[in-house]
Structure 1
Amino acid sequence: MGKLYIVPTPIGNLGDITLRALDVLKNVDVIFSEDTRNTLALLNNFNIKKKLISYHKDNELKASEDIIQHVLSGETVALVSDAGTPCISDPGNIVVRKMNEIRIPVEVLPGATAFVPAVVRSGFPTERIYFCGFLPSKNKERRDFLNYLRDNVFASIVFYEAPHRIKDTLRELLLVFESPFAVVRELSKVYETLYFVEDESSLKDIVEKGEFIIVVNNNIVKHVEKKDAELLDFIFKLKEEGFSKQDIIKILKAFGVKRNRAYNLVIERD
């Protein structure tokens, strides 16, 4: 039996490819690729000659079966996406799941993926990272999802976004989350740019070209300010008296504390 390798490729700078990834690409029997033209350019840069077969979201079911047949026949197969790691907002999950089900070897190589360096570049806390990929396309579904994240996910939240939607998405985020947001454009490429979006006026500086990653600082420490110390002590005393979280939030609201802030204070005091 052969093996499937999941091989990350550079997200911009070709120098980011690993020695192990190059070794695998040189030695496999066939490479399945999200875009064979992009992969051919990568392979030519490193003087690698291999058979390429298309594997993208529109043919993923059939191509997954093809990969399995190649591996069952004893061949080694590499799966690559346009850039970064397959399966991370790119095709690949279906074939990995199918191969796990029938116990065929899959080896996942570590390597480039955009959201980790974007969070580091933002300077926001990295203790908890919540990766969302691309947001839902339908307005209500997207807004409901963002509201859920704001109220329930206390982490550095990461989104991918296309250039033609970047400003509209940031406007929507400004309605839901507290700014600033970090926006990284063209990560690891020549025109890499970091923006911090404070308000609507910040959007004018954003060049709507290339790949974008948005990082929202929704960590709990952001919601608990020094001036909240007295409220935290008050919450502690209420809990000692046996009040539930829901009751404490209602009490704080009665004193004029906004619901989201009240919720965050109660959670922080757990």
Structure 2
Amino acid sequence: MSELTDQIKAAGDYIRKHWQEAPVAGVILGSGLGNLTKEIEQSIEISYRDIPHFPESTVEGHSGKLILGYMQGKPIVAMAGRFHYYEGFSMKQVTFPVRVMKELGIHTLFISNAAGGMNHQFKVGDLMVIRDHINLQPEHPLRGRNENTLGPRFPDMSEPYSKALIQAAHEIAAANDISLHTGVYVGVQGPTFETRAEYKYMHIIGGDAVGMSTVPEVIVAAHAGLKVFAMSVITDIGIREEENVITHEEVLEAANAAEPKLTLIFSELIRQL
């Protein structure tokens, strides 16, 4: 085995000592979106610092713990707090938890994030289901020698986001009178928010929303053969010409306000697994 597979196994073995159930789904929660964990029943929490080879989140709004339990009667594992390349982690560290969740048994990965809107139809607090992405991050999580036991050298990315789950999400939203957009997410390095010219550029090349996460995890999930559903909470609108100063505090506030709708959709999708 390689060093990476050894580390994945060590982390998985440690977690299984505390929770023996095999989760069917993993959930990664973005900035200001950690309250979904309150819906997890019979849960146990494990601090990232206690899990072998896990990094520790340094960002406000990311609590930094793994939560294992049941949602809608289904065993799941949730990350309250994720890792970002801009924090100084390598891409292998950023995506390591996805590998570990796969090791634990998940077959579906749910991801949320806070994102800046670049579509004129969007407003702050809207939800956008990600149907595709554009990767503008400066490093690739699969760069280097491929570990064939984890996935193929050249994974297919023609459908990184499950069309079936996207359709189910729209049906759930319609049944609960929730407005839901679908669009393309642009992944950038950060940590600066984008300039107005950058917002315009990313909109021109096909982006509807932009953020500093998600894409690396989705790439590794695709490499591992996992189904993925991802959703952005639009926490600011960067495409407007008028003054639009963005702060992290405002991003967290907008994410918290939209969270109940996101939680309902995630919960119902997990129920249907």
TM-score, normalisation: structure 2: 0.27
Between 1 and 2, higher relative CO (CA 8 Å, sep ≥ 6) is seen in 2
**Greater Rg over alpha carbons, structure:** 1
TM-score, normalisation: structure 1: 0.27
- Please identify which structure carries the higher strand content: 2
- Please identify which structure carries the higher helix content: 1
